[in-house]
Amino acid sequence: MTIAIRLRRTIIATLTLTAILTLFPVAQQASAAPKLDGVRYTYVPAKICPVEWRQGTWYVKELIRCAAGYYGVSSDKALYVAHRESRYHPHAYNGSSCAKGIYQHLCKYWPGRAYDYGFKGWSAYNARANIIVTMRMVKRVGWSPWGG
């Protein structure tokens, strides 16, 4: 095959792809996030509060402070509620109510909350997921699910 034929095929393929992308923009379709009960799923990038919470309580508190500051929630209130709920223990579990994690999300609500606030499929025992979901939730509805 000659160079001229290859060049022609490359140009035709490029023009065809450009025409298809112009007529059917992928970016607009991909940016529309799916809905669950009227709330759009949003992804939370890993760069928000990249604190390694597995290293201990001090790091869990730092993650809470960081997330509270990022989402505009009172860090003092966030720390108080986390201490009251789990003593900052990511693997805290209440067998009588089936509440899990730092902020003791009830088992029946966690999957929906995780989905709504950007951590679809994550465990409530993951401190980063639990804290950021809580801060985003508090930003939207306040501390009422935790008794005010």
**Rounded-to-integer distance, Cα 42 and Cα 34, Å:** 9
Whether residues 25 and 61 fall in one domain? no
Residue 21 lies in a domain: yes
Q: Can you tell me which residue has the tokens 């639990």?
A: 130
Q: Which tens digit of pLDDT belongs to each residue from 69-123?
A: 999 999 999 999 999 999 999 999 999 999 999 999 999 999 999 999 989 999 9
For residue 112, the SS3 value is helix
H or E stretch covering 73: none
pLDDT band at 25 (very low <50, low <70, confident <90, very high): low
**Rounded-to-integer distance, Cα 38 and Cα 11, Å:** 45
Whether residues 137 and 81 fall in one domain? yes
Whether residues 91 and 27 fall in one domain? no
Whether residues 69 and 129 fall in one domain? yes
Look up the pTM and report it: 0.70
Q: Considering its fold, how many domains does the chain have in total?
A: 2
Sign (positive/negative) of CA torsion 106, 111, 113, 119? positive
For residue 118, the SS3 value is coil
Which residue range is the domain that position 131 belongs to?
53-146
Whether residues 10 and 79 fall in one domain? no
